[in-house]
Structure 1
Amino acid sequence: MNSNNLRNLRNIGVIAHVDAGKTTTTERILFYTGENHRIGEVDDGSTTMDFDPQERQRGITIHSAATTVHWQGTQINLIDTPGHIDFNIEVKRSLRVLDGAVVVFDGVAGVEPQTETNWRLADDYRVPRIAFVNKLDRAGADFPRVVSMMRERLGARALPLQLPIGAESEFRGVVDLLALQALVWDRDDAKEPPRVTEIPPELMSAAQAARARLVEAVVERDDALLDAWLRGESPGVDALRAGLRAATIAGDIVPVLAGSAFRNRGVEPLLDAVVAYLPRPGEAPGAADTQGPLSALAFKLSADDHGAMVFVRVYSGVLKRGDTVFNASTGKAERASRLYEIHADRRVERDELVAGDIAGIVGLKDVLTGHTLASAKDAPVLESIEAPEAVIDVAIEPRSQDGTAALAKGLAVLVREDPSLRLRQDTDSGQTLLSGMGELQLEVAVEKLRSRFGVEVQMGRPQVAYRETLTAAAEVHHLHRKQSGGPGQFAELTLRVAPLPRGAGMRFDSTVVGGAIPREFIPAVEVGVRKAALAGPFAGYPLVDFEAVLVDGSHHVRDSSALAFELAAAAALREAVLKASPVVLEPLMAVEVITPADYLGDVIGDLLRRHGHVQGQDARGNAVVVTAHVPLAQMFGYIGHLRALSSGRAQFTMQLSHYAEVPARAALAA
């Protein structure tokens, strides 16, 4: 669309691995843009964006938090996201609705596992991004090494726009490669702007070489600039910025900046880069037409004392307070009672939302994460948001019978808010099982039940969320007939099952022809298959990665019904699975341990005893990084053991790598 119609707005997120300094960077952004008059700190629990009591208590971000700031005449809608893998759904649904992102890297650790996961998500959603290498004042910080890691591990065309002046505790400023000048912070005082000065003589040669590489990367994308450059003409700074902006928005280049947010160094140039290089709404790849009818995506839900709030990104059209909208995902009409601009835990009421806005709506009753809101019932449905795989189950029950109703209400709200939480009943024990991505996520959920809903609960020991699947194809014929006076039940069908690749989920198809089974009963067959797959017949775990095909069948004019075919399909699936060589699957975790070299042998030996497969090791400053795939069942309580093993000096992170067949040694235990 015409760029003149685009709003001077940036919808961006700040993403990073846990402890890279993401929230600290965000707090400085709030200060420099005038949103806050004092700087909040993670360590003393005074941050604006981490306003949830659990976030302040634990010193980590749990929920993505949105706010609105202004810089150099540009409005910036900013979302601060969690860095911990257990809350990755928050990153995923934020990236789905953002136009750009700032990725914060630890200047010592470089590219860490969660950074890599988030980077791939940004690739999936085609989100342009800029990189901020933080903590360059720390011992072991190495800016060139981090840029090299971005290129090697992320496949990014990372191009520094700055070079650091000074290293580690002597880090005091940056060289601006486009303007060929130095920005120096003489003190850590956030109120004192950088001093613009000459580039230190010892850095001039490196700065000129880095600028030459930057210019070459920019001009090769623009024919006019390239022709001039080949004729020996040096592009002006404005032309270079325009070319760099186009390359960044296209995803061809990732500009890299340097700084130390904690010491208030490098944040103003980072804000300048957000405005200069990240896209406006409608400018990003695959953006919607902002001039069309209303189309908005619900990406987050939050329930509090004021009622449920639905966070939306408006892609096109206008939504006014009190308007009736349609949930295009369900066909239901909803009323947007009130509209709010979000400032962390503050709300500012709005009369209308327009294309590009990220805001909150109160009054929507049946909207879930990933639903599309539109002005027409039959409007196109926007790409939804898929929740990540749950890998851990815990049994949960109230401490007293009086809390049963409150527990049910609280769990329903939590699962509605967080699609990565799953709730089901164990068919054998009758227990309520809450499933999630990790122990921390489940601990936080239980604490919410206590603090928000007043429910004291008993939580069982975490258990691995095993799955079962097929390794062969099978076909069964099943007849469901029941006659006990009055109308009977009759359903006959032939069902074929076959394995699918890991991660494919479940697929259902029908090849029935000639009306052997009336069309209105075929959806009931699928319902029966899906219900039966919730608890597989082999070991009672959910059945995944298989295809079920309804091949043939017959019906009775009077006695056949949707219920009869649903029951027949469920029984047929159970029978077919047992003939299809079923196996149990377990989650294998990608584990990264950072340890002093003195403990390397002990760490590797311990991982091997846990049936882990070491993938590699790499030097990181004066430490060694060990990567391995380890069964989740072997990782419960690992942090305490690792601390004891390394005198408290080693640390680790893990995230789901893939599901794999449980070896014979563990199949019985599973």
Structure 2
Amino acid sequence: MAQSEVSSRGGVANGHAKSHGEAGTRCIALIGPYLSGKTSLLEAILARTGAIPRAGSVTAQTSVGDGSPEAREHGMSVSLNVADTTFLGDSFTFLDCPGSVEFQHEGCAALTVCDAAVVVCEADVRRVPALQIIMKQLEDRGIPHFLFLNKIDETTVPLRDLIPMLQPASTRPLVLRQIPIWENGAVNGFVDLASERAFVYRVDAPSEIVELPATMSEREQQARFQMLEQLADHDDELMEQLLSDVPTSRDRVFTDLTQEFRDGVICPVFLGSAKDQHGIFRLLKALRHEVPDVATTAQRLGIGDAASAAHVFKTLHTQHGGKLSVARVLKGEFADGTVVTGPDGSDRIAGVFSMRGEEAVKRGAASAGDTVAFGRLESVQTGQTIGADRIAGAQVASSVAPEAVFAVGLGLKDRKDEVKLTAALAKLQEEDPSLVVESNGDTHQMLLLGQGEMHLRVTLERLQRKYGIAVERQQRQIPYKETIRVATQVRGRHKKQSGGHGQFGDVVLEISPLPRGTGFAFTEKITGGVVPRQFIPSVEIGVKDYLQHGPLGFPVVDVAVTLLDGSYHSVDSSDMAFRQAARLGMDEGLPRCTPVLLEPVMAVNITVPNEATARVNGIISQRRGQILGFDSREGWTGWDVVQAQMPASEMEGLIVDLRSATSGVGTYTARFDHMAELTGRLADQVLAHQRSVAA
């Protein structure tokens, strides 16, 4: 007769040492590639632990996570979700991190404070590049992590073939903890290799223990021996037992699994299906018994001897509650009214709140391990560590926001919203440090930059929902410039008589080209006082006035202007008259210097898996780019960095093409490099557009 898994919930039923709630609430990140099922896993965990009556659905818009209107609208996680629950007397906080590459930065800051992570991934080899990015983050930070192979009921690849395919994503050995039981071509259960027990799945209920199928006995022994061999790589005594054919006790196996997981030398692999709540209980048991406590995490983060410390990993601006700083308490206690100090000053906590999705609920004091939101800490920013003291303590190293790869121009529908827009964007940037707001001095355009088209679309939706500001999306304007090819001399003369004192200024200017990138130079060779000294600065100002808008309609660069000669009137000459004379001279002379259009060229470093490098080379060529060289990506197996130069006008949508060619994982950084001449059909198109705008 089948035995329910629930009956084995005692503290040492499977060889584990019982954990204790006194260790504090443990914090677990759920992280993985887009559409891997992280939010569904969170729902399954909350339902299985009794935190919610039944698991919600992302597609039905009933999940605890993805509760914001933007997440509901787009059917995807667009921000970090926080939820608390208890399991067998132990407290847990789960952080559901967005999987889309455009929103992954939301979870990066939160990973810092987690005790462990569950990497959720489909049993699909095409997920390896995206999985590698996530694994690398965890490995670099020393965060213990499990791999949960979700949707195991949908896989068609044998697990013995799948694990070697996924292994390149991890520098730690993937240690298979379970093998599936197949029946009629479908997975209907699993064998736990540590406890040597077989389980069959039950719909919306815990799995049941059954006799190990006779047909699986040999496979189970092979898989278990392979698991023990991997553990023995870090345990000489276990290696001796294996070589001597000495049976290994379950307690020994669980002890090794726990220690090697906490040491970060292995990545245990579990199986399941989040939407059917299969494999959830065994995963929770592993989290309860094997995840280190907050004291271990505080030590890993280098908190030192501080009496109290909390690390802020997210900031929220609510419509009615003001600013909330979401933080994990690493040491000490923080209560309502506690004065806390960070790098930028001190504030008094105005309320301590528990978070579940978008909802903040007031609670009592927070102690080590708790993940809470502190109210109205105006001087505290995301990524800072605070302490309940008057002196700022040690700062935990936080993640750096990724560089922006997509931009849109912002145009206000109502000009009176300009001040409101600036304040609202500042709050959105505080909530999301990966957003960048720029005002281009050449194009006079406000730009919003972020991680992709969807990222910026969601940001603008939040802007309108939370702050009531509607903006018009504009195409990013390219800051073209112009220069000259030949030199000339020209006289500029301004004479005007209108009763009383008139206006008189007379200058002779030499205009000549400079080497590319030099900028602008002004000199004078006046002798005999033909232009009085006090008026020479006004001549330079007049020249600069004109250079802001040359004959082609763009700022003029790489030009030298020399004041050679001129004349003045003792009464009618003035600063304004000489400034105007210089403008007139430039207006007449510059069109004679063969003006030419210049376009900005960017230095671009494109990072891609090496199997996609050839496709990326084609993208660069199609965008008038020039490939300069290749390098292996330092610290990354199987990745390349392609160095190239590309016109700024061709950067529009580059990230879309890169992600399309690399299963969503390609990215780039870009810096201005130089200005280059643009001629022919493309130049004609730019000039025609500029004339239409000016008309």
Q: TM-score, normalising length from structure 1? A: 0.71
Q: Please, which of 212, 221, 236 is the counterpart of residue 234 of structure 2?
A: 221
Distance 2:236 2:611 in 1: 47
Select the residue among 369, 394, 399 that pairs with 2:408: 394
Identify the residue that residue 274 of structure 2 maps to in structure 1: 261
Taking the TM superposition and a 5 Å limit, the aligned residue runs for 1:166-315 are 166=182, 170-185=186-201, 187=202, 189-190=203-204, 192-226=205-239, 229=242, 232-284=245-297, 286-288=300-302, 292-305=306-319, 306-315=321-330
Q: What residue number does 1:25 align with?
A: 41
Amino acid at match of 2:602: V
Deviations 1:411-444 (A, max 9, x none): 1110111110011211112222111121111111
CA drift of 1:627 comes to 11
Cα distance in structure 1, aligned partners of 2:417 and 2:610: 40
**Shift in Å, 1:76:** 1.0
The counterpart of 1:102, out of the listed 118, 139, 147, is 118
- 1:656 is aligned to 667
Q: 1:58 to 1:378 in 2, by over 3 A?
A: closer
Q: Which residue of 1 aligns with 2:574?
A: none
Deviates more, 1:213-222 or 1:31-40: 213-222
Give the Cα separation in 1 of the matches to 2:461 and 2:221.
Answer: 55
Q: Is the 8 A contact 1:340 1:359 kept in 2?
A: yes
Distance 1:588 1:309 in 2: 37
C-alpha distance 666-303 of structure 1, shift in aligned 2 (>3 A): farther
Give me the whole-angstrom Cα distance separating, in 2, the residues matched to 1:666 and 1:348. Answer: 60
In structure 2, distance between residues paired with 1:610 and 1:199:
60
Paired with 1:665 and 1:88, the residues of 2 have a C-alpha distance of 36
Matches within 5 A, 1:491-510: none
Distance 1:300 1:604 in 2: 38
Residue 12 of structure 1: how far off its partner (Å) = 0.7
- What stretches of structure 1 move > 6 A for 4+ residues in a row? 3-6, 463-466, 591-594, 601-608, 626-632, 639-642, 660-670
- Distance in 1 (CA, whole Å) between partners of 2:477 and 2:191 is 52
Partner of 2:332: 317
CA contact (8 A) 1:584 1:667 kept: no
SS at match of 1:159: strand
Q: Which residue of 1 aligns with 2:437?
A: 423
Residue-by-residue CA offset, 1:497-547 (whole Å, 9 max, x unaligned): xxxxxxxxxxxxxxxxxxxxxxxxxxxxxxxxxxxxxxxx999xxxxxxxx
Map 1:366-445 onto structure 2 (within 5 A): 366-374=379-387, 375-445=389-459
Retained in 1: the 8 A contact 2:658–2:664? no
Single out whichever of 390-399 and 604-613 deviates more from structure 2. Answer: 604-613
- 8 Å CA contact 1:290–1:315 kept in 2: the answer is no
Any idea what the Cα deviations from partners look like across 1:192-226, whole Å, max 9, x if unmatched?
Answer: 22121122222221210111121232244335545
Give the count of matched residue pairs: 534
Q: 1:30 to 1:4 in 2, by over 3 A?
A: closer
1:122 corresponds to which letter in structure 2?
Answer: L
Displacement of 1:89: 1.5
Partner in structure 2 of residue 58 of structure 1: 74
- Whole-Å Cα distance in 1 between the matches of residues 430 and 438 of structure 2? 14
In the alignment, the residues of structure 1 paired with residue 352 and residue 601 of structure 2 have an alpha-carbon distance, to the nearest angstrom, of 50
Contact 1:143/1:258 (8 A) holds in 2: no
C-alpha distance in 2 between matches for 1:423 and 1:661: 17
SS at match of 1:23: helix
Instruction: State the 1:591 CA deviation.
Output: 8.0
List aligned pairs for 1:120-139, cutoff 5 A: 120-138=136-154
Q: Residue 137 of structure 1 contacts residue 167 of structure 1 at CA under 8 Å; is this kept in 2?
A: no
- Cα distance, 1:325–1:138 mapped onto 2, change above 3 Å: same
The partner residue of 1:41 within 50, 57, 79 is 57
| 2:587 equivalent to 1:588 | no
Partner of 1:137, secondary structure, is helix
Aligned CA distance change for structure 1 residues 263 and 463 (closer, same or farther; 3 Å): farther
- 1:42-78 alpha-carbon deviations (Å, 9 max, x no partner): 1111111110111111111011111111112221110
- TM-score, normalised relative to structure 2: 0.69
- How far apart are 1:384 and its partner, in Å? 3.0
Report the CA distance shift for 1:298/1:448 in structure 2 as closer, same or farther (over 3 A): same
From the superposition, tell whether residues 135 and 45 of structure 1 become closer, same or farther in structure 2 (CA, over 3 Å): same
Match of 1:448, SS?
A: helix
1:117 Cα deviation from its structure 2 partner? 1.7
**How far, CA to CA, are the matches of 1:125 and 1:603 in structure 2?**
30
Q: Is the 8 A contact 1:30 1:69 kept in 2?
A: yes
Distance 1:657 1:19 in 2: 23
1:144 Cα deviation after fit: 3.3
2:89 is aligned with 1:67: no
Deviation by residue 1:119-163 (Cα, 9 ceiling, x = unmatched):
211122111000011112225344334421332232221010001
Counterparts of 1:209 and 1:587, CA distance in 2: 46
Aligned residue for 1:85, secondary structure, equals coil
Alpha carbons 2:36, 2:120 under 8 Å: kept: yes
Q: Which has the larger radius of gyration?
A: 2
Matching residue's letter, 1:432: M
* Larger displacement relative to structure 2 (282-291 or 308-317): 282-291
Residues 169, 34 of structure 1: alpha-carbon distance in 2 compared, 3 angstrom cutoff: farther
CA distance in 2, matches of 1:463, 1:155: 43
Kept in 2, the 8 Å contact 1:339–1:352? The answer is: yes
Q: Secondary structure at the match of 2:23?
A: coil
Letter in 2 for 1:29: I
| Aligned-pair identity (%) | 25
Change (3 A) 1:242 1:609: same
Residue 86 of structure 1 aligns to a residue whose secondary structure is: coil
Deviations 1:562-618 (A, max 9, x none): xxxxxxxxxxxxxxxxxxxx9732353638999xxxxxx9999889746799x9xxx
**One-letter identity of the residue aligned with 1:653:** G
3-state SS in 2 of match to 1:82 = coil
* Mapped contact 2:117–2:144 kept (Cα < 8 A): yes
Instruction: Find the aligned partners of 1:608 and 1:301 in 2 and give their Cα distance.
Output: 42
Unaligned runs of 5+ in 1: 467-473, 479-483, 486-536, 540-581, 595-600, 616-625, 643-649
> Cα gap change, 1:241/1:663 in structure 2, threshold over 3 Å: closer, same or farther?
farther
Structure 2 letter corresponding to 1:584: M
- Is residue 382 of structure 2 the alignment partner of residue 364 of structure 1? no
1:397 match: secondary structure? strand
Displacement after TM superposition at 1:405 (Å)? 2.5
Mapped to 2, the partners of 1:455 and 1:392 lie a distance apart of: 21
Please give the secondary structure, in 2, of the residue aligned with 1:193.
Answer: strand
Q: In 2, Cα distance between the equivalents of 1:113 and 1:294? A: 39
Residues 602 and 670, structure 2, Cα contact 8 Å, conserved in 1: no
The answer to whether the Cα contact below 8 Å between 1:391 and 1:587 also exists between their aligned partners in 2 is no
Judged with a 3 Å threshold, the aligned counterparts in structure 2 of structure 1 residues 605 and 27 are, in CA distance, closer, same or farther, namely: same
The answer to whether the 8 A contact 1:133-1:146 is kept is no
State the alpha-carbon separation in 2 of the partners of residues 661 and 168 from structure 1: 60
The answer (yes or no) to whether the contact 2:404–2:435 under 8 Å persists in 1 is yes
